[in-house]
Structure 1
C-alpha cells in the first residue's frame, strides 16, 4: 500500500565543509580532479543517509554534485561561452554576471545521468531528481544568438527532454523542473512557459513535477518578498494553465509565506508538494507547525495527492539546521498521517 503524505525536499541540502564553503550559496569546490569526483560521491551518500535518518520518503541527491541549480547544467552544453560574461537582471530582482549564448545550444553528453545511476544503486526508495526549467534557464544567460527568449526556451526544452529521458532510464521516479521564473514573468508563462515545460516532459512515463518558489533564503529574495504585500497571489497567474497541463505534480511555497492557501484549489486534481518548511530562517519548525500547514492545505488538496515538502532548497543553511528541519518535516507529516488514519 502506498504511503500517505510521502515527504521530500525541494532540492538542495547543505554540502559538507570539506567539499565546499558552508552556508554559502553556489560556493566553489574545495577539491579537484578525481578527488572532487570521489568527494561528490561521498557527499551524495552522506546526504542520502541524512534524508533516510530523518525519515524522508522520496529521496534526492541533495544537489551535492552540482554547484548551481541552473548553470551546472548549462556548463555541459555547447553554444554557451562562460568566458564571455554580461550583467543581466535575474528574475527582475538582482544583477548577476552570466555567460553568453554565442551559438546553437546542444547537449554533447548526459549531464546528471551518472550521478543519478550512483544514487539509484544506493537506495530502494523512490528518487526525485531536479532539473532547471526552460524559462529559468534563459533567465540566467545573456542571449546573444537567438535574440528571442522564447526561441531559446524551446531549444532548452528539447535538450532537457533528452536528459530527462535518460534520467528516467537510470531509474529516477520523479523528475522535477525548477521554475522560480514562473512567479515573475506572467505573460511569458502563459504565452509559452507552460508549453515549453510540456515539451521538456514529452514521452516521459515517470512522474513529473514543477517547483515554483519565491527563491532561496538569500537577501535579494527576502527583500523582494517584503515588496509583495500581505497576499502573494503570483501563483494565480500560472496555476490555471498548469492545471490543464500534463505535469503530474506542482511544488509550491507555503509555510511562513503569504500565499493564500485557497490558491491551491486552482490546481485541483494535481499532486501538490506543499512547502511546510521555511528555508529563509534558521529557526527550526516544530512538528506541530508543519502539521498545521499541512492541515490547512488539506482543505484544498485530497490527502492522497498531498506531498509534504520544503519551500525551496536548503543549501545555504547550516547542516545542523537543515537536519532539524528535515526531522520536523517527517514528524509533522506523521502527526497528520495519524489523524487521517484514525
Structure 2
C-alpha cells in the first residue's frame, strides 16, 4: 500500500440480479440455503475480479454477502429482536422500521470472518473490510434495554473490537468503520463518539479507517443535502477530534459535494481516503474530472497519504454505471500520477 494515490472504494458494489433485486437497499435474497452461500461467494469473487480488472489497488468485498452495511452485522448479535420493530428517525433524516434492543448485546460467534477469509483467498492485493461504527449502529436501532445511546455504543465498540481483531487475523489489511452518523450528531461525536470508535479499533495492527459521508445516493439523502446550503462544513466538527485520534485513515466525500477542500487541513498527518466519484449520479466521471478533484486535495495532503476513492457505496447504482466509475477512478489516479512524475522530471 505504498506509493502515491493508492486507489480503493468505500464499500458496496451493486449485486448481480440473480442474487438480489438490483438498485435497491435492503434487497431480499433470491436464493436460499447452500445455494445462497454459494451465490454470495460467486458474487464476491466477481466483485474482486471487477476491481482488479479495472485497476484498483486495495480490494474489498463489495459487500456482496450482506444486505445492508449496518443491519447485517446486528442480525448476528444476541440481545436484539428483529421481530419487535419500531419506527425511528435514521440519521435525523428519514423514518425506518428497525429492530429493538431487548437485552444485553453480545456476539456469540464471528460475523464476517469466513467471508473475509474467502476474500483473502481471492486476491494477492491488500484487502479492506468495512464494519459499521458504534454510533451508526446505535442510530439504526430502537433501544428498550440500555436506554442510553452512549452505553449501547460502548457495548457495540467492545463487540466490534472482537470482530476487528479476528478480521485482522484472517488477513485483512485495513479495517474500516462506517460512521455517517458523525455528520449529524456533533455533540455526541465530541462527548463519546470518537472515544467509542477508538475502543472499536483498540489494539489492531491492521490499518484503521473511519468513513464519514453524506449517505448513499438515495432520495432521502439527496433531499437532505439540498438543505445544507452552499458550503457543507459538518466535517469541521469531527476532523479536529479525529486528527488527534488513533485512527490511521479518514474517508470523506469530495466530488460534486459542497465540502470545502481546505477542511482536509484539519486532518493533516492522517491518510485521506477522498471521494472522487459521485455515487448520487448515474453520470460516469471522466478520468480528467477525477484527477481534478484529487489535484485540488494535494494542497492539503501529501500524495503518499491520498487514497482516491468513492464518496460512498455504490449498491443502489446500475452495475454498468458502477463498473464505469471504477474504471474512471483508477484512470484518474493514473493520470495524476503521470502528471506528478512529469513534473518531477
State the TM-score, normalizing by the size of structure 1.
0.99
Take 2:4 and 2:123, find their aligned partners in 1: how far apart are those partners?
20
| Structure 1 residue 279, shift from structure 2 partner | 0.1
Take 1:4 and 1:315, find their aligned partners in 2: how far apart are those partners?
28
What aligned pairs does 1:204-243 form with structure 2 within 5 A after superposition? 204-243=204-243
Take 1:2 and 1:70, find their aligned partners in 2: how far apart are those partners?
30
Residues 1:193 and 2:190 aligned together: no
Take 1:17 and 1:329, find their aligned partners in 2: how far apart are those partners?
24
**Which residue of the partner structure matches residue 301 of structure 1?**
301
Take 2:37 and 2:138, find their aligned partners in 1: how far apart are those partners?
28
Conserved 8 A contact 2:23-2:317 = yes
Deviations 1:46-72 (A, max 9, x none): 000000011010000000000000000
| Structure 1 residue 26, shift from structure 2 partner | 1.6
| Structure 1 residue 3, shift from structure 2 partner | 3.1
**Which residue of the partner structure matches residue 152 of structure 1?**
152
Deviations 1:130-168 (A, max 9, x none): 000000000000011000000000000000000000000
**For 1:338, what is the secondary structure of its paired residue?**
helix
| Structure 1 residue 5, shift from structure 2 partner | 0.5
RMSD of the alignment, in Å? 0.7
**For 1:181, what is the secondary structure of its paired residue?**
helix
| Structure 1 residue 4, shift from structure 2 partner | 1.7
**For 1:281, what is the secondary structure of its paired residue?**
coil
**Which residue of the partner structure matches residue 253 of structure 1?**
253
**For 1:242, what is the secondary structure of its paired residue?**
helix
**For 1:82, what is the secondary structure of its paired residue?**
strand
Deviations 1:249-294 (A, max 9, x none): 0000000000000000000000000000000000000000000000
| Structure 1 residue 2, shift from structure 2 partner | 2.6
**Which residue of the partner structure matches residue 91 of structure 1?**
91
**Which residue of the partner structure matches residue 141 of structure 1?**
141
**Which residue of the partner structure matches residue 267 of structure 1?**
267
What aligned pairs does 1:53-202 form with structure 2 within 5 A after superposition? 53-202=53-202
Residues 1:282 and 2:295 aligned together: no
Q: What is the aligned residue count?
A: 342
Residues 1:312 and 2:308 aligned together: no
| Structure 1 residue 312, shift from structure 2 partner | 0.2
**For 2:123, what is the secondary structure of its paired residue?**
coil
Take 1:315 and 1:272, find their aligned partners in 2: how far apart are those partners?
23
Deviations 1:179-209 (A, max 9, x none): 0000000000000000000000110000000
**For 2:34, what is the secondary structure of its paired residue?**
helix
**For 2:62, what is the secondary structure of its paired residue?**
coil
